[in-house]
Amino acid sequence: MSDDLPVLTRKTGHVGRITLNRPKALHSLTEDMCLLMSDALQAWKDDPEVGMVIVDHTQGTRGFCAGGDIRMMAESGKTDGQGARDFFRAEYRLNALIHNFPKPYLAILDGVTMGGGVGISVHGSHRVTTENTVFAMPETGIGLFPDVGGGWFLPRLDGELGMWLALTGARLKGSAVSAIGVGTHHVPSEMIGHLVSQFEAADLSFEPERLIDTILRPLTQTVPPAEVETYSDVIDACFSKGSVEEIIRALNETSSDWALAQVKTMETKSPETLKIAFRQLREGAACETFEDNMRMEYRIGWRQACSPDFQEGVRAVIIDKDNKPDWPSKNLEKVSGGHLDEVFAPLGEDDLTFL
Protein backbone atom coordinates (compact mmCIF):
# COMPACT_ATOMS: atom_id res chain seq x y z
CA MET A 1 0.00 0.00 0.00
CA SER A 2 1.27 3.44 -0.91
CA ASP A 3 0.17 6.44 1.15
CA ASP A 4 -0.10 8.75 -1.85
CA LEU A 5 -2.70 6.72 -3.76
CA PRO A 6 -6.16 8.36 -3.88
CA VAL A 7 -7.70 5.18 -2.41
CA LEU A 8 -5.92 3.12 0.26
CA THR A 9 -6.87 -0.56 0.39
CA ARG A 10 -5.70 -3.22 2.83
CA LYS A 11 -6.89 -6.16 4.88
CA THR A 12 -6.90 -5.80 8.65
CA GLY A 13 -8.16 -8.87 10.48
CA HIS A 14 -11.16 -10.14 8.53
CA VAL A 15 -11.98 -6.65 7.26
CA GLY A 16 -11.30 -5.36 3.75
CA ARG A 17 -10.59 -1.66 4.32
CA ILE A 18 -11.08 1.03 1.67
CA THR A 19 -10.05 4.55 2.68
CA LEU A 20 -10.65 7.48 0.34
CA ASN A 21 -7.53 9.66 0.25
CA ARG A 22 -8.04 12.76 -1.88
CA PRO A 23 -8.52 15.33 0.91
CA LYS A 24 -7.92 18.42 -1.26
CA ALA A 25 -11.09 17.62 -3.24
CA LEU A 26 -13.19 16.40 -0.31
CA HIS A 27 -12.39 12.86 -1.54
CA SER A 28 -14.51 13.32 -4.68
CA LEU A 29 -14.15 10.36 -7.03
CA THR A 30 -11.88 10.14 -10.08
CA GLU A 31 -12.01 7.32 -12.60
CA ASP A 32 -8.80 5.88 -11.08
CA MET A 33 -10.42 5.81 -7.62
CA CYS A 34 -13.45 3.92 -9.00
CA LEU A 35 -11.15 1.39 -10.69
CA LEU A 36 -9.02 0.91 -7.54
CA MET A 37 -12.16 0.33 -5.45
CA SER A 38 -13.58 -2.08 -8.02
CA ASP A 39 -10.33 -4.09 -8.15
CA ALA A 40 -10.29 -4.42 -4.35
CA LEU A 41 -13.94 -5.46 -4.17
CA GLN A 42 -13.52 -8.01 -6.97
CA ALA A 43 -10.56 -9.55 -5.11
CA TRP A 44 -12.37 -9.58 -1.73
CA LYS A 45 -15.66 -10.93 -3.06
CA ASP A 46 -14.31 -14.49 -3.09
CA ASP A 47 -11.51 -14.09 -0.53
CA PRO A 48 -12.31 -16.31 2.47
CA GLU A 49 -10.14 -14.08 4.71
CA VAL A 50 -12.48 -11.12 4.13
CA GLY A 51 -15.74 -11.21 6.12
CA MET A 52 -16.81 -7.62 5.50
CA VAL A 53 -15.75 -4.36 3.83
CA ILE A 54 -15.47 -0.94 5.52
CA VAL A 55 -15.26 2.27 3.46
CA ASP A 56 -14.19 5.53 5.11
CA HIS A 57 -11.97 8.58 4.42
CA THR A 58 -8.53 9.49 5.81
CA GLN A 59 -8.77 10.51 9.45
CA GLY A 60 -8.46 14.18 10.30
CA THR A 61 -9.63 15.32 6.86
CA ARG A 62 -12.97 16.89 5.92
CA GLY A 63 -15.72 15.18 3.96
CA PHE A 64 -16.53 11.55 3.30
CA CYS A 65 -16.91 12.03 -0.48
CA ALA A 66 -18.24 15.21 -2.12
CA GLY A 67 -19.11 13.68 -5.48
CA GLY A 68 -17.29 13.12 -8.72
CA ASP A 69 -14.48 14.67 -10.72
CA ILE A 70 -16.69 17.48 -12.00
CA ARG A 71 -13.94 19.72 -13.40
CA MET A 72 -12.55 16.89 -15.53
CA MET A 73 -16.04 16.01 -16.77
CA ALA A 74 -16.84 19.60 -17.70
CA GLU A 75 -13.51 19.97 -19.54
CA SER A 76 -14.22 16.75 -21.40
CA GLY A 77 -17.73 17.93 -22.27
CA LYS A 78 -16.24 20.94 -24.10
CA THR A 79 -14.94 18.49 -26.71
CA ASP A 80 -16.29 14.98 -27.35
CA GLY A 81 -17.25 14.07 -23.74
CA GLN A 82 -15.40 10.77 -23.93
CA GLY A 83 -13.48 11.36 -20.69
CA ALA A 84 -16.75 11.96 -18.83
CA ARG A 85 -18.29 8.83 -20.35
CA ASP A 86 -15.31 6.69 -19.34
CA PHE A 87 -15.67 8.04 -15.80
CA PHE A 88 -19.43 7.32 -15.67
CA ARG A 89 -18.83 3.79 -16.95
CA ALA A 90 -16.24 3.04 -14.22
CA GLU A 91 -18.38 4.70 -11.53
CA TYR A 92 -21.67 3.00 -12.46
CA ARG A 93 -20.01 -0.41 -12.68
CA LEU A 94 -18.65 0.20 -9.16
CA ASN A 95 -22.15 1.16 -7.97
CA ALA A 96 -23.51 -2.13 -9.38
CA LEU A 97 -20.67 -4.12 -7.81
CA ILE A 98 -21.54 -2.61 -4.42
CA HIS A 99 -25.28 -3.23 -4.95
CA ASN A 100 -24.56 -6.92 -5.64
CA PHE A 101 -21.74 -7.35 -3.10
CA PRO A 102 -22.25 -10.68 -1.33
CA LYS A 103 -20.70 -9.65 2.02
CA PRO A 104 -21.51 -6.89 4.52
CA TYR A 105 -20.37 -3.52 3.09
CA LEU A 106 -20.27 -0.74 5.67
CA ALA A 107 -19.68 2.91 4.75
CA ILE A 108 -18.87 5.52 7.39
CA LEU A 109 -20.45 8.82 6.34
CA ASP A 110 -18.56 11.01 8.81
CA GLY A 111 -18.68 14.18 6.68
CA VAL A 112 -20.01 15.59 3.39
CA THR A 113 -21.62 12.82 1.32
CA MET A 114 -22.97 14.05 -2.00
CA GLY A 115 -23.55 12.54 -5.44
CA GLY A 116 -20.75 10.04 -6.08
CA GLY A 117 -20.25 9.64 -2.30
CA VAL A 118 -23.86 8.54 -2.02
CA GLY A 119 -23.30 6.05 -4.85
CA ILE A 120 -20.46 4.28 -3.02
CA SER A 121 -22.45 4.01 0.22
CA VAL A 122 -26.22 3.80 -0.17
CA HIS A 123 -26.18 0.58 -2.22
CA GLY A 124 -24.21 -1.30 0.45
CA SER A 125 -25.72 -3.20 3.38
CA HIS A 126 -24.71 -0.80 6.22
CA ARG A 127 -24.41 3.04 6.25
CA VAL A 128 -23.23 4.66 9.48
CA THR A 129 -24.06 8.35 9.93
CA THR A 130 -22.58 10.71 12.53
CA GLU A 131 -23.27 14.30 13.66
CA ASN A 132 -20.88 15.36 10.85
CA THR A 133 -22.86 13.74 8.03
CA VAL A 134 -24.17 16.12 5.35
CA PHE A 135 -26.12 14.35 2.63
CA ALA A 136 -27.38 15.69 -0.72
CA MET A 137 -28.02 14.81 -4.35
CA PRO A 138 -27.25 18.36 -5.62
CA GLU A 139 -26.70 17.60 -9.33
CA THR A 140 -29.64 19.57 -10.78
CA GLY A 141 -27.79 22.64 -9.44
CA ILE A 142 -24.91 22.04 -11.87
CA GLY A 143 -26.88 20.83 -14.90
CA LEU A 144 -26.28 17.17 -14.15
CA PHE A 145 -28.81 14.65 -12.84
CA PRO A 146 -28.98 12.57 -9.62
CA ASP A 147 -27.08 9.60 -11.03
CA VAL A 148 -24.98 6.87 -9.28
CA GLY A 149 -28.20 4.89 -8.82
CA GLY A 150 -30.40 7.83 -7.77
CA GLY A 151 -33.03 6.53 -10.17
CA TRP A 152 -33.07 3.35 -8.08
CA PHE A 153 -32.78 4.42 -4.44
CA LEU A 154 -34.56 7.80 -4.46
CA PRO A 155 -37.99 6.52 -5.58
CA ARG A 156 -37.61 3.69 -3.02
CA LEU A 157 -37.42 6.10 -0.04
CA ASP A 158 -40.68 6.85 1.83
CA GLY A 159 -43.40 8.50 -0.25
CA GLU A 160 -42.09 11.22 -2.55
CA LEU A 161 -39.10 12.15 -0.39
CA GLY A 162 -36.71 11.04 -3.14
CA MET A 163 -38.35 13.23 -5.77
CA TRP A 164 -38.08 16.17 -3.36
CA LEU A 165 -34.38 15.44 -2.72
CA ALA A 166 -33.68 15.11 -6.47
CA LEU A 167 -35.48 18.26 -7.59
CA THR A 168 -34.43 20.61 -4.77
CA GLY A 169 -30.94 19.20 -4.05
CA ALA A 170 -31.83 19.64 -0.37
CA ARG A 171 -29.16 18.92 2.24
CA LEU A 172 -29.90 16.71 5.22
CA LYS A 173 -27.66 16.68 8.27
CA GLY A 174 -26.62 14.24 11.00
CA SER A 175 -29.26 11.90 12.38
CA ALA A 176 -31.84 13.07 9.79
CA VAL A 177 -29.87 11.08 7.20
CA SER A 178 -30.51 7.88 9.15
CA ALA A 179 -34.08 8.92 10.03
CA ILE A 180 -35.04 8.83 6.34
CA GLY A 181 -33.26 5.53 5.73
CA VAL A 182 -30.23 6.72 3.74
CA GLY A 183 -28.20 5.77 6.82
CA THR A 184 -28.87 2.52 8.68
CA HIS A 185 -27.10 3.31 12.00
CA HIS A 186 -26.34 6.63 13.73
CA VAL A 187 -23.17 6.59 15.85
CA PRO A 188 -21.32 9.50 17.56
CA SER A 189 -18.25 10.49 15.54
CA GLU A 190 -15.95 10.02 18.56
CA MET A 191 -16.95 6.32 18.66
CA ILE A 192 -16.02 5.54 15.04
CA GLY A 193 -12.41 4.57 15.83
CA HIS A 194 -13.64 2.19 18.54
CA LEU A 195 -16.25 0.76 16.15
CA VAL A 196 -13.70 0.00 13.43
CA SER A 197 -11.25 -1.56 15.95
CA GLN A 198 -13.95 -3.94 17.12
CA PHE A 199 -14.67 -5.08 13.57
CA GLU A 200 -10.95 -5.54 12.96
CA ALA A 201 -10.57 -7.64 16.10
CA ALA A 202 -13.64 -9.78 15.39
CA ASP A 203 -13.61 -13.29 13.98
CA LEU A 204 -15.93 -12.74 11.04
CA SER A 205 -15.49 -16.19 9.54
CA PHE A 206 -18.89 -17.38 10.81
CA GLU A 207 -22.19 -15.45 10.52
CA PRO A 208 -20.58 -12.01 10.03
CA GLU A 209 -24.01 -10.33 9.80
CA ARG A 210 -24.90 -11.30 13.36
CA LEU A 211 -21.54 -10.29 14.78
CA ILE A 212 -21.64 -6.93 13.00
CA ASP A 213 -25.09 -6.30 14.44
CA THR A 214 -23.83 -7.19 17.91
CA ILE A 215 -20.93 -4.74 17.59
CA LEU A 216 -23.03 -1.93 16.14
CA ARG A 217 -26.05 -2.13 18.42
CA PRO A 218 -24.60 -0.71 21.67
CA LEU A 219 -23.03 2.25 19.80
CA THR A 220 -26.13 3.08 17.75
CA GLN A 221 -28.32 5.97 18.92
CA THR A 222 -32.06 6.08 18.41
CA VAL A 223 -32.77 9.01 16.12
CA PRO A 224 -35.65 11.50 16.27
CA PRO A 225 -37.74 12.06 13.13
CA ALA A 226 -36.04 14.32 10.56
CA GLU A 227 -37.42 17.87 10.40
CA VAL A 228 -38.41 17.27 6.76
CA GLU A 229 -40.79 14.53 7.93
CA THR A 230 -43.01 17.35 9.30
CA TYR A 231 -43.67 18.14 5.63
CA SER A 232 -44.33 14.58 4.43
CA ASP A 233 -47.96 15.31 3.61
CA VAL A 234 -47.08 18.33 1.43
CA ILE A 235 -44.21 16.43 -0.21
CA ASP A 236 -46.34 13.39 -0.99
CA ALA A 237 -49.29 15.46 -2.24
CA CYS A 238 -47.22 17.75 -4.51
CA PHE A 239 -44.19 15.72 -5.64
CA SER A 240 -46.44 12.83 -6.77
CA LYS A 241 -47.80 14.92 -9.67
CA GLY A 242 -47.25 13.94 -13.29
CA SER A 243 -44.69 16.57 -14.34
CA VAL A 244 -42.29 19.16 -12.92
CA GLU A 245 -44.69 21.93 -13.99
CA GLU A 246 -47.56 20.24 -12.11
CA ILE A 247 -45.39 19.79 -9.02
CA ILE A 248 -44.60 23.52 -9.02
CA ARG A 249 -48.26 24.42 -9.58
CA ALA A 250 -49.31 22.17 -6.68
CA LEU A 251 -46.68 23.70 -4.36
CA ASN A 252 -47.77 27.22 -5.32
CA GLU A 253 -51.42 26.36 -4.59
CA THR A 254 -50.66 25.36 -0.99
CA SER A 255 -50.67 28.08 1.67
CA SER A 256 -47.42 26.74 3.10
CA ASP A 257 -44.33 28.99 3.29
CA TRP A 258 -42.20 25.86 3.24
CA ALA A 259 -43.79 24.73 -0.04
CA LEU A 260 -43.18 28.16 -1.61
CA ALA A 261 -39.54 28.02 -0.50
CA GLN A 262 -39.19 24.69 -2.37
CA VAL A 263 -40.43 26.40 -5.56
CA LYS A 264 -37.90 29.21 -5.08
CA THR A 265 -35.13 26.62 -4.74
CA MET A 266 -36.24 24.66 -7.82
CA GLU A 267 -36.28 27.91 -9.83
CA THR A 268 -32.50 28.16 -9.34
CA LYS A 269 -31.86 24.67 -10.81
CA SER A 270 -31.28 23.69 -14.44
CA PRO A 271 -34.73 23.40 -16.12
CA GLU A 272 -33.38 20.72 -18.44
CA THR A 273 -32.08 18.53 -15.62
CA LEU A 274 -35.17 19.04 -13.44
CA LYS A 275 -37.15 17.40 -16.23
CA ILE A 276 -34.51 14.71 -16.76
CA ALA A 277 -34.44 13.90 -13.03
CA PHE A 278 -38.24 13.71 -12.87
CA ARG A 279 -38.38 11.19 -15.72
CA GLN A 280 -35.31 9.30 -14.42
CA LEU A 281 -36.92 8.71 -11.00
CA ARG A 282 -40.26 7.65 -12.50
CA GLU A 283 -38.56 5.25 -14.92
CA GLY A 284 -36.17 4.05 -12.19
CA ALA A 285 -39.14 3.28 -9.91
CA ALA A 286 -40.42 0.91 -12.60
CA CYS A 287 -37.04 -0.78 -13.27
CA GLU A 288 -36.96 -4.41 -12.20
CA THR A 289 -33.19 -4.58 -11.76
CA PHE A 290 -30.50 -2.21 -10.57
CA GLU A 291 -28.63 -2.85 -13.82
CA ASP A 292 -31.61 -1.69 -15.91
CA ASN A 293 -31.60 1.55 -13.95
CA MET A 294 -27.84 2.03 -14.41
CA ARG A 295 -28.17 1.42 -18.14
CA MET A 296 -30.79 4.20 -18.25
CA GLU A 297 -28.51 6.52 -16.24
CA TYR A 298 -25.55 5.80 -18.52
CA ARG A 299 -27.63 6.80 -21.53
CA ILE A 300 -28.50 10.08 -19.82
CA GLY A 301 -24.93 10.69 -18.66
CA TRP A 302 -23.58 10.00 -22.15
CA ARG A 303 -25.68 12.88 -23.53
CA GLN A 304 -25.54 15.17 -20.49
CA ALA A 305 -21.72 15.20 -20.52
CA CYS A 306 -21.95 17.55 -23.50
CA SER A 307 -24.98 19.58 -22.39
CA PRO A 308 -24.57 23.39 -22.35
CA ASP A 309 -26.47 23.42 -19.01
CA PHE A 310 -23.74 21.24 -17.48
CA GLN A 311 -21.03 23.64 -18.73
CA GLU A 312 -22.85 26.64 -17.28
CA GLY A 313 -23.65 24.90 -13.97
CA VAL A 314 -20.02 23.96 -13.38
CA ARG A 315 -18.91 27.47 -14.32
CA ALA A 316 -21.32 29.09 -11.87
CA VAL A 317 -21.05 26.69 -8.91
CA ILE A 318 -17.57 25.11 -9.11
CA ILE A 319 -15.30 27.43 -11.15
CA ASP A 320 -16.45 31.07 -10.75
CA LYS A 321 -18.52 30.28 -7.64
CA ASP A 322 -20.91 33.17 -8.38
CA ASN A 323 -23.81 30.72 -7.93
CA LYS A 324 -25.72 32.58 -10.67
CA PRO A 325 -26.10 30.14 -13.55
CA ASP A 326 -27.75 31.56 -16.68
CA TRP A 327 -29.18 28.24 -17.90
CA PRO A 328 -29.03 27.74 -21.68
CA SER A 329 -32.20 25.61 -21.40
CA LYS A 330 -33.96 28.81 -20.18
CA ASN A 331 -37.21 27.46 -18.66
CA LEU A 332 -39.32 24.33 -18.24
CA GLU A 333 -41.61 25.14 -21.18
CA LYS A 334 -38.64 25.21 -23.56
CA VAL A 335 -37.44 21.71 -22.58
CA SER A 336 -39.45 19.56 -25.00
CA GLY A 337 -40.54 15.96 -24.66
CA GLY A 338 -38.71 15.29 -27.92
CA HIS A 339 -35.45 16.49 -26.37
CA LEU A 340 -35.99 14.22 -23.35
CA ASP A 341 -36.66 11.27 -25.66
CA GLU A 342 -33.27 11.93 -27.27
CA VAL A 343 -31.52 12.08 -23.87
CA PHE A 344 -33.10 8.76 -22.76
CA ALA A 345 -32.71 6.93 -26.09
CA PRO A 346 -30.77 3.62 -26.14
CA LEU A 347 -27.10 3.84 -27.14
CA GLY A 348 -27.00 0.71 -29.28
CA GLU A 349 -23.46 -0.65 -29.27
CA ASP A 350 -22.43 1.87 -26.61
CA ASP A 351 -25.08 0.82 -24.08
CA LEU A 352 -23.51 0.02 -20.70
CA THR A 353 -22.90 -3.68 -20.15
CA PHE A 354 -22.17 -5.30 -16.79
CA LEU A 355 -19.50 -7.99 -16.52
State which of positions 299-328 bind ligand QUE (CB under 6 A). Answer: 317
Q: Does 150 bind ligand QUE (CB under 6 A)?
A: no
As beta bridge partners, residue 19 has 8, 56
The CA-atom distances, in angstroms, between 204 and each of 29, 211, 269 are 29, 7, 46
As beta bridge partners, residue 65 has 113
Q: Does 51 bind ligand QUE (CB under 6 A)?
A: no
Sheet arrangement for strand 134-136: 112-114, 134-136, 172-173
If the CB atoms of residues 195 and 312 are measured against ligand QUE, the closer one turns out to be 312
Q: Does 148 bind ligand QUE (CB under 6 A)?
A: no
If the CB atoms of residues 104 and 115 are measured against ligand QUE, the closer one turns out to be 115
Q: Is 67 a catalytic residue?
A: no
Of the candidates 111, 115, 183, 208, which one interacts with ligand QUE according to CB under 6 A? 115
Q: Does 167 bind ligand QUE (CB under 6 A)?
A: no
If the CB atoms of residues 16 and 115 are measured against ligand QUE, the closer one turns out to be 115
State which of positions 226-255 bind ligand QUE (CB under 6 A). Answer: none
Angle between helices 271-286 and 290-304 in degrees, nearest 10:
160
DSSP category for residue 13 = T
As beta bridge partners, residue 128 has 108, 185
Quick one: 221 exposed, middle or buried, by C-beta within 10 A (0-12, 13-18, 19+)? middle
Q: Select from 94, 101, 142 the least CA-distant residue to 116.
A: 94
Handedness of CA 64, 118, 87, 312 (dihedral sign): negative
State which of positions 117-146 bind ligand QUE (CB under 6 A). Answer: 138-139, 141-142, 144
User: Which part of the chain contacts ligand QUE (CB under 6 A), choosing from 43-51, 54-62, 64-72, 217-225?
Assistant: 64-72
Give min distance, CB of 332 to ligand QUE, in A.
20
Of the candidates 7, 26, 97, 154, which one interacts with ligand QUE according to CB under 6 A? 26
Q: Is 111 helix (H, G, I), strand (E, B) or coil?
A: coil
What is the Cα–Cα distance from 180 to 229, expressed in whole angstroms?
8
Q: Is 116 a catalytic residue?
A: yes
Q: Does 172 bind ligand QUE (CB under 6 A)?
A: no
User: Which part of the chain contacts ligand QUE (CB under 6 A), choosing from 33-41, 114-122, 239-247, 254-262?
Assistant: 114-122
Catalytic residue chosen out of the listed positions 56, 69, 139, 309: 139
Catalytic residue chosen out of the listed positions 69, 91, 147, 272: 147
Q: Is 68 a catalytic residue?
A: yes
What is the Cα–Cα distance from 176 to 217, expressed in whole angstroms?
18
What is the Cα–Cα distance from 84 to 126, expressed in whole angstroms?
29
Give min distance, CB of 69 to ligand QUE, in A.
7
Catalytic residue chosen out of the listed positions 51, 67, 68, 115: 68
User: Which part of the chain contacts ligand QUE (CB under 6 A), choosing from 22-30, 42-50, 269-277, 297-305?
Assistant: 22-30
Q: Is 147 a catalytic residue?
A: yes
What is the Cα–Cα distance from 66 to 57, expressed in whole angstroms?
11
> Which residues bind to ligand QUE, rule: CB under 6 A?
25-26, 28, 66-68, 70, 114-116, 138-139, 141-142, 144, 317
Q: Which residues are catalytic?
A: 68, 116, 139, 147
